[in-house]
Chain A
Amino acid sequence: MIGKKLKRQWQLHVLLIPGIIILLIFSYYPLYGLVIAFQKYNPGLGFNSPWVGLDNFRYIFSQPNFLRTIGNTFYIAIFKMILGIIVPVTFALLLNEIKNDLTKRVFQTLIYIPNFLSWVIVAGVLMDLLATDGIVNRFLNVLGMNAISFLGSPSVFPWTMIISDTWKGFGFGTVVYLAALAGIDPGLYEAAQVDGAKRFKQTIYITIPMLMPTIILMSVLSLGNILNAGFDQIFNLYSPIVYESGDIIDTYVYRLGVEQAQYSVGAAVGMFKSVVSCVMLSMSYILADKVAGYRVF
C-alpha cells in the first residue's frame, strides 16, 4: 500500500528532504543543549560544566521580576493575536470590495511594505514620532488633550507595542485572507442573493464561515508563538521605566543570559517557554477540533 503511494509520489518526498534535514540540524539536534538548563554552565568547560539539577529553575522562579514578565508576555501576546485576526480580516473584507484591480493591488502592497522593515528602523522612527514632544503628542495638544507618554508610561506602553506591531504586521494576514476570500464559491453568494440577503448578511452568513478554516489555521499557528510577544520590537523600544508592564520573558532573559552571560538561567527559561508553548499548542488544537470541528492536519 505504502509502496504504491511512494512510487507515485516519490518526487514530492524528495522535495521534502532538504527541509527535513534543516529541521533536524537546527531544531532537533540542538535540543541536546537543553542540558545547559540543568548545569552551572561555564562556556570554557562546555557541556562538562557542573550539574546543578533544578537550581536554575528555583532561582529564576524566586525572582518577582521574572514572574511579572510572564504576565506581561501573555497580556501583550494575547492582544496582539486578537488584533492580529480582527484587523487583517476586516481589511481583507474591505479590500475584497474594491472592484478596480489596480487600486486593490496598490493598497495591498502599501499595507504589506511595513512588514519588511526591520524593527530597528521602525523603532527609530517611532521613538521620534511618539516622544512627548513628537508629532503625535503635538497633534493631541492641538486637540486640547495632554501629552501621552507612549513609550515612558507603564500603563500605555503595552498598547503602544500591540498597536504598532499590528500596524507593521497586518499586511501578511490580509494577503492570506484575501487569497482565501478569492477561493469562496461565487455560487453561494448568488444563492444568498436569491434568498434576499443584503451585503452585510452575506458577509456574516457566507464570508466569515467560509473564512473560518483559514482564521483557525492562522490562530493556531500564532498560538505556538504566544510566549514570544516580539523581542525585536520591545527590545528596541523599552526602558527601565516600563519594565513593569513591558518587560517580557525574552527581554529579561536577554539581559540576564546574554549581557550577564548567565547562560544556564537563560536556557532554563527558554526550556520553560517551550514547555508552555507545547501545552498551549496542543490545547488549542484540541479545542479547535472539539469546539469548531476544524482540524489543521
Chain B
Amino acid sequence: MKKKLLSLFLCITLPFMFLTGCGNSSDENAIAPENTGAEAAGGSEGSSAVSGTAANATVLNGATAEDRESWWDSFEEPVTITTVGYEASSAVYPAGDGLTNNIWIRAYKDLFNITLTYNWASTDEETKETKLNLDISGGNLPDVFNVKPYQLQQLIEADLIWDLTEIYDTYASERTKINMEADQESFESGMSDGKLYGLANLHWGIIEQPDYIWIRNDWKEALALEDPDTMDDLVNIMLAFMEAYGTYGLSAEKNLDYLNLIAIAWQAYPDMWITGDDGSIVYGSVQDEMKDALAAWADWYQQGIINPNFSTATFEDMSTDAITGKVGVMPFYQWWGYSPGVDVVSNQGVDAIFYPYMIPSATGGQVYQSIFFANQTYTVVSKTCENPEAVLKMINLYGYLVDDAMGIEDDEIITSFTNPEIVHVVPQLRVLNPNCDYDQFIQVSNAVATGDTSGLINSGMWGKYESSMEFINNGTPAVLGDYSQQGSIKPAYGLAADILDNELYIKSRLWGGSPEALLSYGSTLDDILTEGYTKIIMGLKDIDYFDTVVSEWYAAGGEKVTQEMNEMYGE
C-alpha cells in the first residue's frame, strides 16, 4: 500500500520537474496592453512614481498644438506592433519600469494608440543578430525591427518587407526629413531599385568615429610625463607606467580590434578599404604599412608592454584590467567615459580618470583617422504589419523629443524621455540627427568654459552640460561619460572636432552596402588575418610570416572580394 502510494506520488510530481525548465529566461515576454489613462504608470507592479509624467497619461503640448504636423494624429483603432530588440545592461529605469513598460512605450500608446510589444530582447548585439537571423529564416518576422545591411538585402530579395517610399513621404516629420537629408548617402543606401525599403537609423555624426589613446591622468602627472607627440613618447609613457606601478603597458584583446586602432600611427588602415597606390581599392589590413605596425607591436610584446594574456582576453577582461589598475594606457573610442570609465573612476578614484590624446605618429608622417560609412542599421517593416505608418509616428516622436521639444514642453518631461540612461537604449525606432554631436560639442564645451548657457537649445545639450558640471563639481562617476566626451578639459570631441575641421581623416571606400563576396565570407577572411597577426605579435612567427598570411588571405577569397569591391565602388 505504502509502495503504491509512493509510486503514485512520484508519477504525479515527476512531470512537474520538466516544467521547471519553462518560464522566463532573461528574455522579456510581451506584456498585455496597458489601460490608457489614469492607471498607465507602473504596469503590473502597482503604483510607482515615474519622473515627469506621474500616474497620468502622457501629455505633450506638441501633440495638441494647433499647427502640429499631421503625423501626430492618433490611430482611431488600437494598433499593436510587435518588435524585437536589444536590452542594454546600462539602461536605468525608474521603479517598476523595464524594457517592455516605460515612458516611451506609454507615450506610443497614449499619443498614437500604438501598443509596442517585444517578442524578445537580447542583452548583446551578437546574440540579437543571430536570433534575428533565425527569426528571418523561420518566417517569424516581427512587424518592425532593425536590421544590418546584409539582412536588408536578404529581406528585399525575399520580398518580405514593405516598400516605404510613399509612406515615408507622407508620414515622415520635417525633423526626420531634415535628418535624412543631412546624410543623403545613408538615406539612399536603404533604397533598392529606386524604392525605399529600409529607413536608415543614421548616427550621431562622424565626430563620434575618431579613435584615441587614453592615458591615465594621475599616474601621468605623478611621473611628470608630457603629452605624447610621437609614438616613441607614448612608448616611454607606457614603460614608465610599467616600472612605477608594476603593470603592463597597453591593453589589447584577442580580436585585435583595439590594438588596431593605433595602427594609423604607421599609416596602416586595418579593417578598412582604402585607395591603393595604383588608384584601385585595396584592403588596409593586408598592405605593407600593416607590416610595420605589427613589427612594432611584436617588439612591444617582447618588452612586456602588451598584456601577455591578450590572445585569450575578451573585451571584458580588458576593461577589468583598467578598472583594477593593471593598465594605464588604452586605445579606445570616444565613449571611454561611459564604459569602462565609470567603473574605473568608481574603483580607482576620480583622479584615475583617463584623458584622450591624438594617436601620435610613428613614422613622422601625418596620422589620418579612419572614417567608416556610418549607417549600420535600418528599420524595416515586415509585410505582416498592417499599419506601416505606425513606425514613422514612433520615429518622428523620437526626433521631436530629442531635437525640437525644448521650449515647447516642460523640461522635466523632456528629461524623463531623453536622459542618457534611457534615450540611447530604450527607443530603438529612431532616425538620429547626423549633426547632433558636433553641434552639441560646440555648445556644451563653450558653456562649460564660459558659463554662458544661452547656446544650449535642446535637451541633449543641456543633459551633457549638466553632467559635465556635475562631474566637475562633485566628481560623480555616473556622469563621466558626457564629461569626458564633451565637457572636460581634454574632451574627446575636442580632438575629433580638430580632426574633422582639418580633414585629417580618410573615408572608407566601402560607402554603402557590401558586395556579395564580402557578405559571404568577409569574416572568415578576417579570421585568417587575426590568427596570423596574433602569432606575429606574440613572437611565435617572425615578421616575414606577414607575407604568408597576406597571400593566404588572397587565396582564400581576398582576391575575389577586392575585385568585387572595385566593381562596386571603383572609379
Residues of A whose CB lies within 8 Å of any CB of B are: 42-46, 63-65, 127, 131-133, 149, 151-152, 154, 239-241, 243-244, 255-256, 258-263
- Judge if B150 is at the interface, Cβ distance under 8 Å: yes
Contact of A44 with B254 in the complex, beta carbons under 8 Å:
no
**A44-B527 contact, Cβ under 8 Å, with A63-B556, A241-B312, A241-B535:** no
Q: Which B167-192 residues sit within 8 Å CB-CB of chain A?
A: none
| In the complex, per-residue mask of B279-291: 1 if CB is within 8 Å of any chain A CB, else 0 | 0000000000000
B311 touches which one: A42, A45, A152, A256 (CB < 8 A)? A152
Q: Which B551-567 residues sit within 8 Å CB-CB of chain A?
A: 552, 555-557
Contact of B155 with A151 in the complex, beta carbons under 8 Å:
no
Contact of B158 with A241 in the complex, beta carbons under 8 Å:
no
Between A and B, how many residue pairs show CB distances below 8 Å?
86
Contact of B155 with A44 in the complex, beta carbons under 8 Å:
yes
- Tell me how many residues of B have a C-beta within 8 Å of chain A: 39
Contact of A259 with B126 in the complex, beta carbons under 8 Å:
yes
> In this complex, what residue of B is CB-closest to A243?
B531
A44 touches which one: B154, B255, B311, B530 (CB < 8 A)? B154
Contact of A43 with B136 in the complex, beta carbons under 8 Å:
yes
Q: List 9 A-B contacts (CB under 8 A).
A: A44-B136, A63-B524, A63-B556, A64-B552, A239-B312, A240-B255, A256-B523, A259-B126, A259-B130
Contact of A244 with B160 in the complex, beta carbons under 8 Å:
no
Known contacts A43-B137, A63-B524, A64-B552; 7 additional CB pairs below 8 A are: A42-B158, A46-B137, A132-B308, A240-B530, A241-B312, A259-B523, A261-B133
- Judge if B520 is at the interface, Cβ distance under 8 Å: yes
- Judge if B228 is at the interface, Cβ distance under 8 Å: no
Query: Which 6 pairs between the two chains have the least Cβ-Cβ distance?
Result: A44-B158, A43-B137, A241-B311, A239-B254, A240-B530, A43-B136
> In this complex, what residue of B is CB-closest to A66?
B524
What is the bound-complex CA distance between A257 and B226, given in angstroms? 49
A127 proximity list for chain B (CB < 8 A) = 312
A65 touches which one: B158, B528, B535 (CB < 8 A)? B528
A240 proximity list for chain B (CB < 8 A) = 254-255, 311, 527, 530-531, 534
What is the bound-complex CA distance between A227 and B223, given in angstroms? 56
Q: Which B520-552 residues sit within 8 Å CB-CB of chain A?
A: 520-524, 527-528, 530-531, 534-535, 538, 540, 552
Min C-beta distance of A158 to chain B, whole Å: 15
Min C-beta distance of A40 to chain B, whole Å: 9
Contact of A241 with B154 in the complex, beta carbons under 8 Å:
no
- Judge if B324 is at the interface, Cβ distance under 8 Å: no
- Judge if B39 is at the interface, Cβ distance under 8 Å: no
Which of A44, A262, A263 counts the most chain B CB atoms within 10 A? A44
> In this complex, what residue of A is CB-closest to B538?
A241
Contact of B552 with A241 in the complex, beta carbons under 8 Å:
no
A260 touches which one: B159, B520, B552 (CB < 8 A)? B520
A243 proximity list for chain B (CB < 8 A) = 527, 531
- Judge if B61 is at the interface, Cβ distance under 8 Å: no
Contact of B157 with A42 in the complex, beta carbons under 8 Å:
yes
**A241-B556 contact, Cβ under 8 Å, with A255-B524, A258-B130:** no
Contact of B136 with A65 in the complex, beta carbons under 8 Å:
no
Min C-beta distance of B524 to chain A, whole Å: 6
Contact of A241 with B137 in the complex, beta carbons under 8 Å:
no
Which of B129, B150, B158, B159 counts the most chain A CB atoms within 10 A? B158
> In this complex, what residue of B is CB-closest to A244?
B531
Which of A65, A133, A239 counts the most chain B CB atoms within 10 A? A239
- Judge if B46 is at the interface, Cβ distance under 8 Å: no
A132 touches which one: B133, B309, B519, B534 (CB < 8 A)? B309
- Judge if B194 is at the interface, Cβ distance under 8 Å: no
What is the bound-complex CA distance between A195 and B126, given in angstroms? 68
Min C-beta distance of B348 to chain A, whole Å: 20
What is the bound-complex CA distance between A243 and B552, given in angstroms? 15
What is the bound-complex CA distance between A239 and B313, given in angstroms? 8
- Judge if B21 is at the interface, Cβ distance under 8 Å: no
Min C-beta distance of A126 to chain B, whole Å: 11
What is the bound-complex CA distance between A239 and B540, given in angstroms? 15
Min C-beta distance of A149 to chain B, whole Å: 8
- Judge if B407 is at the interface, Cβ distance under 8 Å: no
Min C-beta distance of B421 to chain A, whole Å: 28
**A262-B312 contact, Cβ under 8 Å, with A44-B155, A44-B160, A241-B535:** no
What is the bound-complex CA distance between A44 and B129, given in angstroms? 15
Min C-beta distance of B251 to chain A, whole Å: 15
- Judge if B139 is at the interface, Cβ distance under 8 Å: yes
B129 proximity list for chain A (CB < 8 A) = 259
Q: Which B84-128 residues sit within 8 Å CB-CB of chain A?
A: 126
B522 proximity list for chain A (CB < 8 A) = 260
> In this complex, what residue of B is CB-closest to A130?
B312
What is the bound-complex CA distance between A64 and B528, given in angstroms? 10
What is the bound-complex CA distance between A256 and B126, given in angstroms? 14
What is the bound-complex CA distance between A112 and B552, given in angstroms? 45
> In this complex, what residue of A is CB-closest to B530?
A240
Contact of B523 with A260 in the complex, beta carbons under 8 Å:
yes
Contact of A131 with B527 in the complex, beta carbons under 8 Å:
no
Min C-beta distance of A145 to chain B, whole Å: 17
Contact of A255 with B133 in the complex, beta carbons under 8 Å:
no
What is the bound-complex CA distance between A156 and B200, given in angstroms? 47
Min C-beta distance of B497 to chain A, whole Å: 36
> In this complex, what residue of B is CB-closest to A263?
B137
B520 proximity list for chain A (CB < 8 A) = 260, 262
**A46-B139 contact, Cβ under 8 Å, with A241-B535, A244-B531:** yes
B309 proximity list for chain A (CB < 8 A) = 131-133, 152
> In this complex, what residue of B is CB-closest to A256?
B524
> In this complex, what residue of A is CB-closest to B156?
A44
Which of A42, A65, A241, A243 counts the most chain B CB atoms within 10 A? A241
Contact of A44 with B159 in the complex, beta carbons under 8 Å:
yes
A42 touches which one: B154, B312, B528 (CB < 8 A)? B154
Contact of A64 with B556 in the complex, beta carbons under 8 Å:
yes
Contact of B137 with A65 in the complex, beta carbons under 8 Å:
no
> In this complex, what residue of A is CB-closest to B552?
A64
What is the bound-complex CA distance between A151 and B313, given in angstroms? 10
What is the bound-complex CA distance between A152 and B524, given in angstroms? 20
> In this complex, what residue of A is CB-closest to B523?
A260
What is the bound-complex CA distance between A244 and B545, given in angstroms? 15
What is the bound-complex CA distance between A260 and B130, given in angstroms? 9
> In this complex, what residue of A is CB-closest to B534?
A241
A261 proximity list for chain B (CB < 8 A) = 133, 150-151, 154
B159 proximity list for chain A (CB < 8 A) = 44
Contact of A151 with B312 in the complex, beta carbons under 8 Å:
yes
B150 proximity list for chain A (CB < 8 A) = 261
